[in-house]
Structure formats: C-alpha cells, structure tokens
A and B are shown apart, each in its own frame.
Chain A
Amino acid sequence: MSYNNQRIAYGNTLVELGKDDPRIVVLDADLGGSTMGKMFEQAYPERHFEMGIAEADMTSVAAGLAQTGKIPFTNSFAAFAAGRAYDQIRQTIAIGKLNVKICGSSSGLSDFGDGATHQCVEDMAIMRAIPNMTVLCPADANETVEAVKAMARMQGPCYIRLNRNDYENVTKEGEPFKIGVPKVLKDGHDVAVFATGYMVGEAMKAAEELEGKISVKVINISTIKPLNAEAVLEAAGDCRAIVTAEEHSVLCGLGSAISEVLCKDPRPIEFVGVQDTFGCSAHNYKELLDYFGLNAEKVKEAVEKMAAY
C-alpha cells in the first residue's frame, strides 16, 4: 500500500506492526487525530494510551512501559516530542538505553499555519546531541513505512521526524531500509547533494534540471544518527564540492553532521536550510518553504555556486 503522506504511512504502519506484535503500544497527548495514533487506537484500544495534554508524563510513562518489555511509540508534534520532553528522554530513556520510540510529527515548517511555536527546526539538533539516540528523518511516505518497521525492530531509543503534508514519493515503495545506510539516489561527479526528509525530493528536482550542465550526485540521508562516516566519505567520492539540504536549522542538523565527517576530507560545503531563525505562519506549505528558501530552485543555486569551485 502506497501513501503520499508520512503521517498516514506512520499510522498505518503502526497498525500493521501491532497486528503481529502485542508488545507494540502507542501513546498520544491529545494529538492522536493529527499524529495518526488514532488509527492504532481504533485497531487496538487496549494498547493505546491517551495521556492527555502532558507530554512529559507521556514520555516517562513510555519509559516505564518499555521496562516491562513493551515497545512504546510516543507521538506528538516535534516541538513537544523533542522539546518539551527533552529531559524525560535524556534522563531515563537515553541514559538507560530504553526501548522507546519517539515520533516528532509535524516537524520542520510543515505545520505551516501554526507559526514558530509549532514549527520545530531544531529537533534533529536536540536529539542528535543525546548519546545512545538514533535519529531518523525519512524522505517520504514510502520510506516512512520501512523506517518505522526498522525502528520497531531495533533495540534502544529512536527518534523519527515526520512531515505533516502530502507530497509525492521520491523513493520506491517497499524498498529495503537499513538504519545507518545512506542511499545514492542519483549518481554524479561534480557536486554531491546530501539531503534529508522533504528536501530529498527537491534535491532530485534540482539535479534533474541541471542535467547536461552540472553532474549532480544526490544522497538521501534518512539516518541522521548514527551517521555512517565511511559511507558519507565514499558517497562524496571525488565530487569537488558539497551541498546539504534540510528542512531544519542549518545549525547542528544534517549540514553540521555531514561537515563533521567531511572535515576529514575537506571541500567547500553550502548549507540549504533554515538560517538560524524561527518559522512563522503562512496560508500554505509551499509559500512558507519558498519564504525560507527551501525548494529545488535554492538547491540548484547552491549547486551552481559550488560547481564554480
């Protein structure tokens, strides 16, 4: 079954996982209608916990459930899942390597209407800084299905960030997914674009538009942590410059993670992302992305600039 929305893919995948595995439990904080935790609630009401508008409690309760052998998924908007519950995640889940899965829904700018309070452009930064944490950011709905299955299979804490809106898939349905393995979606030898989440599709569009002029390699980094340094170095190959693209602050997200690796084999890097600022409200997603320079056109400009090196 193919979806064109990460939340829908997530909700359906949880239901599918829950069918065969009674250890799967799901917790929501009054946003189940948006996170799609409601789908699990409808399918397995006895294994869904409505924790009220209390994300800190929800997160610690999940820790307790994990310690009785359950595989809890906690859902909220990324701003609350990663932000409000940071201390609960750090103290009990991450230090103890507990088997809790945290879903940061409506991440990045994807909750376009709600403005800065709800648009989390720093969740990957927060989660990446925590030892023992795995951080996933799938490119699209297809990859979300496989990523959620992989996070349920792995042992230990894992954060996944998901987009709120509908958009076209750039990866294939049912493609095998392994945590920590970057995927080259398009080969090239001038400039390598490392992209994550929604920006993977924009990077692909940019690469196609530049076809014949600049040879652009596009790499999908859907595991932000652990970042496979060897694979990143190999993917960068002999490209003479690098572009990173993420719907996240350019500080401490994908761009920083890639830089931390490529400083061992240095070459110029341009960062496409939110430039250390908060989001704001807009009437539609595309308009907001354009305002913050998160589109194929900006990736293209960055590639052209870097190709001049």
Chain B
Amino acid sequence: MGYDRQLINRLENMAKQIRRDIVTCVGVGVAGHIGGSNSSADIVTALYFYKMKHDPSNPQMKERDRFLLSKGHVGILQYSALAESGYFPVEDLKHVKELGFYLQGHPDVIKTPGIEAGTGSLGQGLSIGLGMALGQKLDGLDSKTYVLVGDGEIAEGQIWEAAMAASAFHADNLVAIVDRNRLQANGKVKERFDSGDIIAKFLSFGWNVIEIDGHNMEEILTALDAADEVKGIPTVIVANTVKGKGLSFAENVVGYHNGTLTEDTYRQAMEELA
C-alpha cells in the first residue's frame, strides 16, 4: 500500500518534534524515561496525527478512538503528543513533575486532559483498554481502543488474562501495540526475563498478529489500517524498535530507561533532533 509522500514527511517531522518535546520534558538534571519514550515515539505520532478520531477541543467526544499507555512510565511521550495535538500548551512540557503540576510522572486521568485512565502499575492497560472497547461496542460505536504495551511489561500475567478475554469477547475494536525494544529497566529482556516468542504467543491466544519496524512510518500506517479490516478477533502489532531511538548516546543503552540529561547531552540531543 502506498501512502502519500507528503503525509509520511509530515508525520516523520512530527515524530522528530515529539522527540524534541520529550527531551524538553526531561530537561537537565532530573531523571526521565527517555529510552522507552523514544522507542514508541513514531507509533504514538502515527496514532495521534494520522489514525485516531479525536478532538483536542472536546476530549470527551463520544465517538473518539481511545489511546491507553499501558507502559505508563513514558507519560512524557503521551504528554508531548497531546500538547502538539492542542490539548494543552506545549510550553507546559517544561514543567512535568513539578510539585502540584497537572503533568504527573505517570498519566493521571483527573489532572490531565486527554488521558483516558491512569496507568503506571504495569500489565493493566490491556484490560482497561478491553473494558473501553467493550463499552464502545455496547454503545454501538464504530470506534477503536489502542493500547501500547512494552515487551518487558508483558511479563505481567494480567496481560495474558486480558489477551484471553479479548479473544473470548471477539474484541476486534481493540488493537494492542507491543513496543519490542528488547530492553527493560535492568537489562536485556532476553537475559533478564525472556518473554519468548511474542508472536506465537499472541497467535495461540487467538489474536491477529502484524509484525513491523516500529520506526518505519509507512509500515506503522499500513499495520494500523490493516487492523481495521480484521473482524471477530483483536489485533496486536508487534513493533520492533530501538530504545532511545534518535539520540545516538541513548540508543540501546539500558541506563537511559530512566536517565538524566546533563547540559551537554541535552544540547547534543536537541542538535541531533534538529
């Protein structure tokens, strides 16, 4: 399937802008989840700026598609996408995690516009997303729920409870995206706690599985559009990514899971993303 080159360019530029916003969120001297934000940045850009029906001036629009960040620790990525969409001022990203501010360390459904539910305790987002997908079906809506999970996160057993349940309920309006950056907080997923053959696992749970390069915008759009065509079963997109993508010093470096930027690395990051 071919996509208009201008569309792809526009989305790639937005993904770059969002990566700059992520660096802005982290700032200098305070730890932030840089690695996982950057591995998911292209996927989240495609969702907010191409795929999802949503209205920043009416976050509660009934017909909206919904996005859940099951890997809630990369809240700064979602805040960047929400700010660039117009849910709140981009300038506010500088104040993430400041005492009393509305942009918390993890998504907060009460404090922040555009957040669908609080996440942070890993492994729960797919279940919450399934609940939303079932609610959308009860309301007769032609809307979808997208859930982003990490490949380290799927060690949580509840992910597989939800995987079973989504199949049982034929939740074809639920799309999971696994950000397979192959690193978790303390090292390589394969070495720390091997999640095995994710694709075979989801297939055996009755899901439609699509594997893509999670940094190739055309592949991301193709997968998201293909999920619309699948009836009767949920879809998971397994996106192969690089943790810290876009920042040469952070790519595939475990320490940048929740890392701190110095004035030098902050400047370097902004230069590389210019």
Binding site for B on A (CB under 8 A): 25, 46-47, 49, 51-52, 54, 56-57, 59-70, 72, 87-88, 90-92, 95-98
Give the distance in Å from the alpha carbon of A88 to the alpha carbon of B168 in the complex. 21
Give the distance in Å from the alpha carbon of A46 to the alpha carbon of B134 in the complex. 11
Contact A62 B131 (CB under 8 A): yes
Q: Which residues of A contact B145 (CB under 8 A)?
A: 64
Chain B interface helix/strand/loop/mixed: helix
Contact B121 A87 (CB under 8 A): yes
* 15 A–B contacts from the bound complex (CB under 8 Å): A51-B165, A52-B161, A61-B130, A61-B162, A63-B128, A64-B132, A64-B145, A67-B109, A67-B131, A68-B131, A68-B138, A68-B139, A91-B118, A92-B117, A95-B110
Contact A57 B132 (CB under 8 A): no
Contact A60 B118 (CB under 8 A): no
Q: Which residues of A contact B120 (CB under 8 A)?
A: 91
Query: CB within 8 A of B124: which of A25, A60, A67, A70?
Result: A60
Contact A57 B161 (CB under 8 A): yes
Q: Which residues of B contact A60 (CB under 8 A)?
A: 124, 127-128, 131, 158, 162
At the interface, yes or no: B45 with Cβ under 8 Å from chain A?
Answer: no
The residue in chain A whose Cβ has the minimal distance to the Cβ of B164 is: A52
Within 8 A of A (CB), among B120-154: 120-121, 124, 127-136, 138-139, 145
Q: Which residues of B contact A97 (CB under 8 A)?
A: 110
Give the distance in Å from the alpha carbon of A90 to the alpha carbon of B130 in the complex. 19
Contact A64 B161 (CB under 8 A): no
Q: Which residues of A contact B158 (CB under 8 A)?
A: 54, 56-57, 60, 88
The residue in chain B whose Cβ has the minimal distance to the Cβ of A27 is: B131
Give the distance in Å from the alpha carbon of A164 to the alpha carbon of B48 in the complex. 49
Query: CB within 8 A of B138: which of A25, A59, A92, A96?
Result: A25
Contact A68 B135 (CB under 8 A): yes
At the interface, yes or no: B38 with Cβ under 8 Å from chain A?
Answer: no
Q: Which residues of B contact A62 (CB under 8 A)?
A: 131
Q: Which residues of B contact A98 (CB under 8 A)?
A: 109, 117
The residue in chain B whose Cβ has the minimal distance to the Cβ of A60 is: B127
Contact A92 B118 (CB under 8 A): yes
Give the distance in Å from the alpha carbon of A60 to the alpha carbon of B128 in the complex. 5
Known contacts A54-B161, A67-B131: A96-B136 contact under CB 8 Å: no
Give the distance in Å from the alpha carbon of A67 to the alpha carbon of B109 in the complex. 10
Known contacts A57-B162, A64-B133, A92-B119: A70-B138 contact under CB 8 Å: yes
Binding site for A on B (CB under 8 A): 108-110, 116-121, 124, 127-136, 138-139, 145, 157-158, 161-162, 164-165, 168-169
Q: Which residues of A contact B117 (CB under 8 A)?
A: 63-64, 67, 92, 96, 98
- Additional A-B contacts beyond A57-B161, A88-B127 (14; CB < 8 A): A25-B138, A54-B158, A57-B165, A61-B162, A63-B117, A63-B127, A67-B109, A67-B132, A69-B139, A87-B121, A88-B121, A91-B120, A92-B118, A95-B110
Give the distance in Å from the alpha carbon of A25 to the alpha carbon of B135 in the complex. 10
Q: Which residues of B contact A96 (CB under 8 A)?
A: 108-110, 117-118
Min CB distance B107 to A, Å, is 10
Q: Which 7 A-B pairs have the closest CB atoms?
A: A64-B131, A68-B135, A60-B127, A57-B161, A61-B131, A54-B161, A64-B132
Give the distance in Å from the alpha carbon of A51 to the alpha carbon of B161 in the complex. 9
Min CB distance A88 to B, Å, is 6
Give the distance in Å from the alpha carbon of A24 to the alpha carbon of B129 in the complex. 19
Min CB distance B152 to A, Å, is 18
Min CB distance B29 to A, Å, is 28
Give the distance in Å from the alpha carbon of A65 to the alpha carbon of B110 in the complex. 17
Contact B138 A61 (CB under 8 A): no
Contact A92 B128 (CB under 8 A): yes
Give the distance in Å from the alpha carbon of A47 to the alpha carbon of B158 in the complex. 23
The residue in chain A whose Cβ has the minimal distance to the Cβ of B129 is: A64
Give the distance in Å from the alpha carbon of A42 to the alpha carbon of B252 in the complex. 53
Q: Which residues of B contact A56 (CB under 8 A)?
A: 124, 127, 157-158, 161
The residue in chain B whose Cβ has the minimal distance to the Cβ of A51 is: B165
Give the distance in Å from the alpha carbon of A70 to the alpha carbon of B133 in the complex. 12
The residue in chain B whose Cβ has the minimal distance to the Cβ of A66 is: B131
Contact B134 A64 (CB under 8 A): yes
Contact B164 A64 (CB under 8 A): no
Give the distance in Å from the alpha carbon of A217 to the alpha carbon of B127 in the complex. 47
Min CB distance A73 to B, Å, is 13
Q: Which residues of B contact A95 (CB under 8 A)?
A: 108-110, 118
Q: Which residues of A contact B161 (CB under 8 A)?
A: 52, 54, 56-57
Q: Which residues of B contact A90 (CB under 8 A)?
A: 121
Q: Which residues of B contact A64 (CB under 8 A)?
A: 117, 127-135, 145
Min CB distance B199 to A, Å, is 22
Known contacts A91-B121, A91-B124: A65-B131 contact under CB 8 Å: yes
Give the distance in Å from the alpha carbon of A27 to the alpha carbon of B72 in the complex. 26
Q: Which residues of B contact A25 (CB under 8 A)?
A: 138
Known contacts A54-B165, A87-B121, A98-B117: A63-B135 contact under CB 8 Å: no
Q: Which residues of B contact A49 (CB under 8 A)?
A: 134, 169
Q: Which residues of A contact B169 (CB under 8 A)?
A: 49
Contact A61 B121 (CB under 8 A): no
Give the distance in Å from the alpha carbon of A43 to the alpha carbon of B128 in the complex. 25
